[in-house]
A and B are shown apart, each in its own frame.
Chain A
Amino acid sequence: MGRYLLRRLLQLVPVFIGTTFLIYWLVWAVPGDPFAGKCGERRCPDQYIAFMTEKYHLDQNVFVQYGNYMKNLLQGDFGQTFSQRDIGDIIATAYPNTLKLALVALVIEAVIGLGAGVLTGLRRNGFLDNLVLISTLFLIALPVFVVGFVLQWLLGVQWQIIKPTVSSEMRWSELIVPGFVLGSASVAYIARVARTSIAENRRADYVRTAIAKGLPMRRVVGVHLLRNSLIPVVTLLGTDLGALMGGAIVTEGIFGINGIGRAVYRAIVTKESATVVGIVVVLVLVYLVMNLVVDLLYAALDPRIRYE
């Protein structure tokens, strides 16, 4: 287990360097003036150009630049915006909000998606099965902003069950509807994957054995069947956390949540390259860490992987 973990951790290093370099290169080192259009409509102030050139060694080649950026990054320095704001601060205020939203979405996905998947996988072709199949298809087909605006209007404006926007305190209860909106497509995928997985394993020999042992049905399903069926679902859930955080732009916009999506959107609109790079680097980190968590969960769920 220790060696497995170590190997997986070491594998993260080249992936992290590769992806972040690509992002850095795309934003800063494309041919032409690196400051063209970087400071909004105006020309960049000379002192900013001088400052950035010195700080990021822009007069040197891209590898040196990247190396220096990484060196600062490892010391927790994300650099500054052109208005001299610390990018680290922007990230530190925005990330927790998005993480909170994404976690709510993840829990909703896990509970609703898995629940619907298990119920329909056990009883295929029933009323519930058709209901879930149709409603999930609906959710997959609808763009997130449609789901978001419709729910906001319906629940927040028409029926006034929720407040249309989330307050700055980010209470968990306020995040349920935005969380559902953010996770709506994923909920549908989780439900479908879980349904297929359960239905496939339902006929597996070891499930028959568990029944033949005279175990109660809830134990057959809850212990023997579920543990095996969870493996593909866990992959989907784990990798989804990264996607949820990256994909939160629309949801955060609709519900007025001050998160990473809005920050990156604002940075793109105002052409704040350093901010974009910083936020994306952290997103990459989340992806990588979640992938590692998925791999470890894999090994925990399926012992055959541990000893490969």
Chain B
Amino acid sequence: MSDILVSEQSAPGPGGSGRPSGRLLEVDDLRVEFRTRDGVAKVINGVTYHVDAGETLAVLGESGSGKSVTAQTIMGILDTPPGFVTGGQVRFHGKDMLGMSAEERRRIRGEGIAMIFQDALSALNPVFTVGFQIAEQFRVRRGMGRAEAKKRAIEMLDQVKIPNAKGRFNNYPHQFSGGMRQRAMIAMSLALDPEVLIADEPTTALDVTVQAQIMDLLAELQRERQMGMILITHDLGVVADVADRIAVMYAGRIVEEADVYDLYAKPAHPYTIGLIDSIPRLDEKGQQLRTIKGLPPNLMNIPPGCPFNPRCPMAQPVCREKVPPLLQVGTARASACHFAEELVNRV
């Protein structure tokens, strides 16, 4: 479980360390900015994380923290312009994808790394049947004939537990319920048996009971196929059951990375503490929900020092001057806080 690599994150040089490490997928000191008419927003400011076969990494953060943009950069679906990668590497099997040709990258998509999106209704093409959209991959990528592709697509629908998969093949996305659509989306992303699955808030658009079903399904499929999974979410509740490790993002940086158990038991960053404290709790019924005061920083003008310092209850003068690097604390975790040691060692 505590298979965490923090040594490499301690001092990544600009442009990434470039060392092959035998990891399945690693993001190394990634930097992305959005060049808009109003100015340059530094959306990703040196993100480093990795995922190996058979494990689930949860990437946690509020809206605008850069978790989705990181995923889009991995997939190569970042909108350029306005988004530009300004540094770092994304290595798949040790090979930097950002330096690959468009055709090489395309071949990795779906087959090496696949992605499911938040809102399956808009992510599925409204004018084609669900079956067509799944079978399409077998036909285009595997060169299968119509009949065989259809058979395989029905198998996929079956695997994601869509009842009457055969009859549902010719349905359009709008004829599916929300949960069904997300299942179809999952079937589509898994069609080519990817090694890594990126799930970008896969349950946010669903109601609570369906959320749990979809998360269970994802966890089950991930286990069965021994995929590496990157689960992007802002919901701490979703994470606890499925993730092995958690990376917490804030203002385009990883501020804390730890084993799930460690992170919940003893968060080593004030932001993580704030996030955990803001989970509604049954034993504190009737009281006001706790929040993290203030707003996330304006990415066009990130405050000097630690980007969290204006909202941090523990902020000291040093926090306004020095950016805390993501450093190893304790055995198998990392935190980007000047006071990480104290937080971990508190009783």
Contacts and interface: CB of A to CB of B under 8 A. Distances in A.
Interface of B: 75-77, 79, 106-111, 114-115, 117, 119, 122-129, 136-137, 140-141, 172, 174-175, 188-189, 192
A154 to B, nearest CB: 40
B117 A205 contact: yes
A219 B115 CA distance: 19
A206 B123 contact: yes
Contacts of A205: 117, 119, 122-123
29 contacts: A205-B119, A205-B122, A205-B123, A206-B122, A206-B123, A206-B124, A208-B117, A211-B109, A212-B77, A212-B109, A212-B110, A212-B115, A213-B109, A213-B110, A213-B114, A214-B108, A214-B110, A214-B111, A214-B137, A214-B141, A216-B106, A219-B140, A224-B125, A227-B128, A228-B126, A302-B127, A303-B126, A303-B129, A307-B175
Q: Which 7 interchain pairs have the tightest Cβ spacing?
A: A214-B110, A214-B109, A205-B122, A206-B125, A205-B123, A303-B172, A209-B123
A215 interface: yes
A214 B107 contact: yes
Nearest to B102: A217
Nearest to B172: A303
B177 to A, nearest CB: 15
B127 A301 contact: yes
A211 to B, nearest CB: 5
Interface in A201-241: 203-206, 208-217, 219, 224, 227-228
Nearest to A210: B125
A304 interface: yes
A215 B71 CA distance: 18
A128 B188 CA distance: 36
A228 B125 contact: yes
Nearest to B132: A223
Range for the number of chain A residues in contact with chain B? 20 to 34
Q: Is the interface of A mostly helix, strand, loop or mixed?
A: helix
B108 A227 contact: no
B136 A215 contact: yes
Nearest to A213: B110
Given A212-B75, A228-B127, A204 B111 contact: no
A181 B77 CA distance: 42
Given A209-B124, A214-B111, 10 more contacts: A205-B122, A206-B122, A212-B189, A214-B137, A219-B140, A224-B125, A227-B127, A301-B127, A304-B126, A304-B174
A55 B188 CA distance: 69
Contacts of B125: 206, 209-210, 224, 227-228
Given A213-B109, A303-B172, A208 B77 contact: yes
B120 to A, nearest CB: 9
Contacts of A302: 126-127
A214 B192 contact: yes
A210 B136 CA distance: 10
Nearest to A231: B127
B160 to A, nearest CB: 16
A304 B121 CA distance: 13
A216 B119 contact: no
A304 B129 CA distance: 11
